[in-house]
Amino acid sequence: YLKISKLALAFAIIHSKPPGKSSKGYTEYLARTVSEQDFGWKWKVEVLEAEVLRLRQELLLNRISPRFCLENRKQDASAETHLVRESINPTSYSSQLEDSGCDVCNDSAFDSLGTASDFHQYEQNVNTSKHWLERVPPLNLCHTSKEQSLTAPVHFLQCLLEIRKLSEGGILQADFSELENDSFTICNSVSQLLDGLTFFYNSPKFPAPSFLTEGVCVLLSLITDSKLSNHVLKKCFKKLEEFKKNLIQIILRNTSVNRFQALHSVSETLGLLGRNNILRNSLISLLLSGIRQFAEQLLQAHQAQSVYDITQYENIFLLCMILEQLLQNETKESNISSLGYGEEKIKFLKNLDQVILHLSDEFPLFSLYLWRVSVLLNSGQMQ
């Protein structure tokens, strides 16, 4: 039947082709026309699906707290945007732009990840937000953008956080059990947020757009909130894992000349995600796996005297720094357990001494980082 249908279509195209045009040319023209129509319909469907999600978000907010009125709670966001940006990245973007990008890292910036007070100050800055209730306008069906696809879920999740804060203070009555009844909306919103962050991290702009900064703020606030984090982590854990893997690959595969400005922001986000006890173990596991695989590839290239990827070699140090910082943070806590990444820990430590021995002469800095990580993994507190 399929062969007969194809033959009938071929005859129909040949009989209907305009004079002076070949059958092949006319077929290609028809294929392009159909393809453009399909693309148009797919685009319209995506826009309409986004609008449906927005309406479901408003309905869910109304179910959680009927008294919650978005229209009457609009305030200026300029001061908060500046405050949040400073809380996430203390180093000014103007100073980053003056940097040549030749340095592999900024040690002082990475040291800030290890200070618990810095992160607590970040949380306080996020909690002082007063513009979270600004209403998201309906999507323009004639035009949509990547920026809209990120700002829409950001505003919805900001509203959830604000309701949570107001209900905790006794100002507002809220029923968060509704999140269990509508897992689709919360999952799709978080998924849209993570996809948007991944897109903009892949195509960084300087200085960072305010909506990107707000997106990171919302994500970190969700996974650290005592009530909302359970809903988000339970329903969106796989998506968060995929997001962390994407960030690691962005660091490893970035080949731009002045890439370290952009990679610093990605590294900082990974470090902050590692503050969450549930996400930390899986992130350590991913980092151990990535660094181990690169060390094995580098050893093979060194023994065969073949060419290795110098860009990846420079980028791998960012992952080493994040991993070292997370392990150091674990040693400061009382309830330390490597059960979440025990398998990767065993693989990482296996034959590590031989790897360091063979690489130490040619790659002393990388070998030093491998040794420092192994010391942290083998310390008495990490058993």
Top mean pLDDT of 52-56, 200-204, 314-318 is at 314-318
Do 225 and 282 lie in one domain? The reply is: no
Among 274, 289, 323, identify where a domain stops.
274
Give the pLDDT score at 239: 92
Buried b / exposed e along 140-171 (16+ C-beta atoms within 10 A) = eeeebeeebbbbbbbbbbbbbbbbbbbbeeee
Do 280 and 367 lie in one domain? The reply is: yes
Residue 226 is assigned to a structural domain of this protein: yes
Give the pLDDT score at 283: 93
Do 331 and 254 lie in one domain? The reply is: no
Residue 39 is assigned to a structural domain of this protein: no
Residue 110 is assigned to a structural domain of this protein: no
pLDDT at 202 over 50: yes
Do 220 and 309 lie in one domain? The reply is: no
Residue 203 is assigned to a structural domain of this protein: yes
Residue 351 is assigned to a structural domain of this protein: yes
Report the alpha-carbon distance of residue 190 to residue 250 in Å, rounded: 20
Do 315 and 344 lie in one domain? The reply is: yes
- Residue found by looking up tokens 């405050």 in the block: 83
Give the pLDDT score at 313: 93
Among 242, 274, 306, identify where a domain stops.
274
Do 185 and 264 lie in one domain? The reply is: yes
Do 258 and 188 lie in one domain? The reply is: yes
Residue 131 is assigned to a structural domain of this protein: no
Q: What is the mean pLDDT of residues 60-64?
A: 88
Residue 245 is assigned to a structural domain of this protein: yes
Give the pLDDT score at 364: 94
Q: How many domains does the chain fold into?
A: 2
Among 254, 274, 294, identify where a domain stops.
274
More confident residue, 140 or 44: 44
Give the pLDDT score at 115: 39
For 246, other C-beta atoms within 10 Å of its C-beta total 18
Residue 46: which pLDDT band, with cuts at 50, 70 and 90? confident
The torsion region of residue 170 among left (phi > 0), alpha (psi -120 to 50) and beta comes to left
Range in 16-25, 112-121, 170-179, 373-382 the model is least confident about: 112-121
More confident residue, 135 or 267: 267
pLDDT at 128 over 90: no
pLDDT at 357 over 60: yes
67-116 pLDDT, tens digit per residue, is: 775 443 444 344 344 444 444 454 443 444 444 444 444 444 344 344 34
Q: What is the model's pTM?
A: 0.71
Do 337 and 320 lie in one domain? The reply is: yes
Report the alpha-carbon distance of residue 109 to residue 97 in Å, rounded: 15
Q: Which domain holds residue 360?
A: 276-382
Do 228 and 280 lie in one domain? The reply is: no
222-271 pLDDT, tens digit per residue, is: 888 888 888 888 888 899 999 999 999 999 988 887 788 778 889 989 99
Give the pLDDT score at 372: 93
Cβ proximity of 235 and 187 under 8 Å: yes
Report the alpha-carbon distance of residue 345 to residue 164 in Å, rounded: 38
Do 325 and 232 lie in one domain? The reply is: no
Residue 338: which pLDDT band, with cuts at 50, 70 and 90? low
Report the alpha-carbon distance of residue 111 to residue 103 in Å, rounded: 16
Report the alpha-carbon distance of residue 346 to residue 349 in Å, rounded: 5
Residue 249 is assigned to a structural domain of this protein: yes
Do 242 and 309 lie in one domain? The reply is: no
Report the alpha-carbon distance of residue 222 to residue 126 in Å, rounded: 11
Do 236 and 301 lie in one domain? The reply is: no
Residue 47: which pLDDT band, with cuts at 50, 70 and 90? confident
